[in-house]
C-alpha cells in the first residue's frame, strides 16, 4: 500500500518537476471554419519560431512549450478554447484573428491573469476597455485612415475626392481619412459612394471630373478599383488615384490593364517578402525551407510578431503575467517581422505599420522605402 502511494506521489511530482523547466505559452487560432487558412498560417509560423528558439537552448535555460487550441473563428468555441488554455496554466496567449472571436475570450484570459496578444483583431473597442493584460500586434481600424492621410499629404495633393462603396469597412476608412485630412489641412472637395458590383462607372467618373480633384481616393475593393482605373484611362483623364488595403490584390492590375494601373498607389500592411529588415529576411528563409511556400496573409505574420514580443519578455527574465505586461507596455523599437514593434499604455501597437505600395511600369506592386 505504501509503495503504491509513493508511486502515486511520484506520478504527481514528475510532471510538476518537468513543468518547472518549461515556459508555457498558448496559441488560439482558427484551425477550422472560414478563416482556417489564416489559422494554419498562424500555427505554422509560431510553431516554427518556438522550435527554432528551443533548438538554440530556449530562454532562461528553459524550453518553451506551445499549446495550440482551435477557436474555429467562432466566439463560442473561442470561449471554450480560452478556458482550456487557462486551465493549462499558460502565462501568455497569442491570438486570435477575428475581432468578435477575440472579444469572447478577452475577459476569460483577464480573469485568469494571462497575457493576451491578439493578431488580426482590428476593432477599435478591444483596447478601449483598457484591460491591463491585453495587447495586439495589428493596427486599429482607425490607424489606416491616418496612414492614408499622411501618404496623401506627403505627396502634396491639395484637392482630394474621396469615394467609398457603402460597405462598413470602406465607409469607415473614408470617414476616418476625411477627418485626418482635415487635421492635416488637405482639402476634401468631394465625398460620395458608388454602387459596388457594377461594371460601368463612367457616369461617376464624369461627375468626379467636374469637381476637378488632383487625387481620387477610393476606399473600396480591387474589382471596382480596377474598373475605375480602366474607365478613367479610357476617358483620357490623367488624375492620380489611390486606395486602401482592400486594393492589395494582383487582379487589380489585370482588370485595369498595366497602362491604366501604372502610378496607382495604396496603403497596406506589408508582407515580410516586401520588407528589407534582417528579421523579416531570416524568418522568410526558414519559413520557405520548412513549408516550401511564402506566408500569404499579413495577419498571420502578426502572430509571429506577438510571439517575438513574448520571447523578448522571457529573455529579460519576465516570467509571470504581470511583469510581462509591464514590460510590453513600455516596449518599443523591437524588430518584428512586419516592422518595428512596440505597445502603448492601452496595449495597441505603436509605430508606423502601414506602408505605401505603388504600381510600377510592369504592373508590379512596389513597396515604398521609408
Residues that bind another protein (CB under 8 A): 166, 192-195, 197-200, 202-204, 206-207, 209-210, 223, 226-227, 230, 234-236, 251, 254-255, 257-258
Compute the least distance from the CB of residue 224 to another protein, in Å. Answer: 9
Q: Is 22 helix (H, G, I), strand (E, B) or coil?
A: strand
> Among residues 324 and 359, whose Cβ is nearest to another protein?
359
CB of 255 to another protein, least distance (A): 5
Please report how close the Cβ of residue 36 comes to another protein at its closest, in angstroms: 16
Q: Which residues of 71-91 are buried (b: 16+ CB within 10 A; e: fewer)?
A: bbbbeebbbbbbeebbeeebb
What value, to the nearest 5°, has the Cα angle with vertex 45 and ends 39 and 46?
A: 90
Distance CA 52, CA 227 (A): 46
Closest CA to 213 of 156, 264, 155, 161: 161
Residue located via cell numbers 487560432:
29
Gap between the Cα atoms of 238 and 303, Å rounded = 41
Min dist. Cβ of residue 206 to another protein (A): 5
Strands (E) in the chain, as ranges, are 22-29, 63-70, 92-94, 115-118, 134-136, 159-164, 187-193, 215-218, 240-243, 265-268, 334-336, 339-341, 355-359, 365-367
Which residue's CB is nearer to another protein, number 111 or number 234? 234
CA–CA separation, 152 and 270 (whole Å): 18
Shortest separation between residue 223's beta carbon and another protein, angstroms:
5
Q: How far is the CB of 361 from another protein (least distance, A)?
A: 15
Q: CB-hemisphere CA count at 13 Å for 138?
A: 27
Residues listed for the chain: 370
Which CB atom, from 19 or from 166, has the smaller least distance to another protein?
A: 166
Q: Which is closer to another protein, CB of 82 or CB of 162?
A: 162
How far apart, in whole angstroms, are the C-alpha atoms of residue 310 and residue 324? 8
Q: Work out how close the CB of 177 gets to another protein at its nearest, in angstroms, rounded to a whole number.
A: 17
Q: Across the strands, what pairs with 62?
A: 59
220, three cell numbers: 473600396
Preceding amide of 35 cis, omega within 30? no
Give, as one character, the DSSP assignment of residue 218.
E
Minimum CB distance to another protein smaller for 199 or for 278: 199
Q: Which is nearer to another protein, 70 or 245 (CB)?
A: 245
**Between residues 253 and 313, which has the closer beta carbon with respect to another protein?**
253
Give 272's DSSP letter: G
Q: Which is nearer to another protein, 256 or 321 (CB)?
A: 256
Cβ-based nearer residue to another protein, 202 or 358: 202
CB of 207 to another protein, least distance (A): 5
What is the Cα–Cα distance from 289 to 44, expressed in whole angstroms? 12
Give min distance, CB of 277 to another protein, in A. Answer: 33
In the complex, what is the shortest distance from the CB of residue 257 to another protein, in angstroms, rounded to a whole number?
5
Query: Nearer to another protein by C-beta: 111 or 192?
Result: 192
For CA atoms 237, 160, 362, 197, the dihedral sign is: negative
Helix (H) or strand (E) run with residue 194 in it: none
Amino acid at each position: 500500500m505504501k509503495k503504491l502511494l509513493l508511486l502515486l506521489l511520484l506520478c504527481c511530482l514528475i510532471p510538476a518537476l518537468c513543468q518547472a523547466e518549461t515556459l508555457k505559452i498558448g496559441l488560439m487560432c482558427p484551425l477550422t471554419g472560414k478563416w482556417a487558412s489564416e489559422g494554419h498560417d498562424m500555427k505554422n509560423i509560431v510553431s516554427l519560431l518556438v522550435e527554432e528558439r528551443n533548438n538554440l537552448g530556449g530562454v532562461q535555460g528553459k524550453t518553451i512549450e506551445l499549446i495550440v487550441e482551435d477557436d474555429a473563428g467562432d466566439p463560442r468555441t473561442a470561449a471554450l478554447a480560452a478556458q482550456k488554455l487557462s486551465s493549462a496554466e499558460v502565462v501568455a496567449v497569442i491570438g486570435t484573428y477575428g475581432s468578435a472571436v477575440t472579444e469572447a475570450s478577452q475577459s476569460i484570459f483577464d480573469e485568469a491573469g494571462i497575457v493576451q496578444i491578439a493578431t488580426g483583431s482590428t476593432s477599435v473597442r478591444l483596447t478601449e476597455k483598457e484591460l491591463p493584460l491585453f495587447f495586439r500586434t495589428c493596427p486599429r481600424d482607425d490607424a489606416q485612415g491616418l496612414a492614408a492621410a499622411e501618404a496623401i499629404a506627403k505627396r502634396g495633393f491639395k484637392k482630394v475626392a474621396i469615394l467609398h462603396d457603402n460597405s462598413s469597412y470602406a465607409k469607415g476608412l473614408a470617414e476616418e481619412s476625411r477627418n485626418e485630412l482635415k487635421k492635416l489641412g488637405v482639402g476634401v472637395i468631394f465625398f460620395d459612394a458608388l454602387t459596388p458590383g457594377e461594371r460601368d462607372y463612367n457616369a461617376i467618373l464624369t461627375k468626379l471630373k467636374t469637381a476637378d480633384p488632383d487625387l481620387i481616393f477610393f476606399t473600396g475593393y480591387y474589382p471596382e478599383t480596377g474598373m475605375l482605373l480602366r474607365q478613367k484611362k479610357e476617358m483620357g483623364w490623367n488624375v492620380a488615384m489611390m486606395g486602401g488595403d482592400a486594393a492589395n490584390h494582383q487582379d487589380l492590375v489585370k482588370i485595369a490593364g498595366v497602362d491604366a494601373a501604372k502610378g496607382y498607389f495604396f496603403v497596406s500592411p506589408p508582407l515580410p517578402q516586401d520588407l528589407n529588415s534582417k528579421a523579416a529576411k531570416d524568418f522568410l528563409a526558414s519559413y520557405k525551407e520548412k513549408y516550401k511556400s511564402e506566408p500569404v496573409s499579413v495577419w498571420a505574420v502578426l502572430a509571429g510578431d506577438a510571439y517575438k514580443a513574448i520571447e523578448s519578455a522571457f529573455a529579460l527574465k519576465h516570467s509571470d503575467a504581470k511583469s510581462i505586461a509591464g514590460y510590453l507596455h513600455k516596449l518599443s523599437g523591437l524588430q518584428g517581422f512586419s516592422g518595428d514593434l512596440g505597445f502603448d499604455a492601452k496595449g495597441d501597437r505603436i509605430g508606423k505599420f502601414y506602408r505605401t505600395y505603388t504600381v510600377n511600369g510592369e504592373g508590379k506592386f512596389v513597396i515604398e522605402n521609408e
